[in-house]
Amino acid sequence: MPQVQIILGSQTDLAVVEPAQKVLTELGIDSQVTVCSAHRNPRRLVKLIEETEAKTDVYIGVAGMAAALPGVIAAHTVKPVIGLPVKSADLNGLDSLLSIVQMPPGVPVACVAIGGGKNAGVLAAQIIALKDAAVAERVMRFKEDLAKA
């Protein structure tokens, strides 16, 4: 079964992840959510990536403010990483967005809108659909349903 690892920098960001989980579940994709800060526990994060690498198709890194988490994930895996910036109190998430998209050459992170959990889930599904025809069919139906709505 396809697998998406969703890693959050803080437990306070769980609400931002719920739309991603909902979409992934609807599309028949398993997801695992783990809270692990790139700043507060970098060794644990690297160990988590090493332990999940073999069973993971896509990572979603959810982070606010300095938003280093998606980049750190990308530095330790060859799998696609989607950054999901979280709205912050001071800069409304612009700080998170810019931190995620300004990655150095060779360490790319895809990025969705600030608070764009649903799109993070859809993008992860589309990446998995490249190699899984059943997921591709479900994503196509999902998009057709969006068009009808």
Q: What are residue 33's phi and psi, to 5 degrees? A: -110, 130
Q: Which of 6, 8, 3, 4 is CA-nearest to residue 68?
A: 8
How much is the pLDDT for 89?
A: 83
Beta-sheet strand order (sheet of 110-111): 30-35, 3-8, 58-64, 81-86, 110-111
> Token pair of 38, please?
């790139």
How much is the pLDDT for 1?
A: 67
The alpha carbon dihedral of 137, 21, 19, 43 has a sign of: negative
Q: What residues form DSSP beta bridges with 81? A: 59
DSSP state of 68: -
How much is the pLDDT for 59?
A: 98
Q: How many CA atoms lie within 13 A of 61 on its CB side?
A: 34
How much is the pLDDT for 90?
A: 84
Counts for the chain of helices (H) and strands (E), in that order: 6, 5
Output the CA angle 65-71-73, nearest 5 degrees.
115
Cα Rg of the chain, angstroms: 15
Strands 58-64 and 3-8: parallel
CATH class of the region 3-148: alpha beta
- Which stretches in the chain have pLDDT values below 50? none
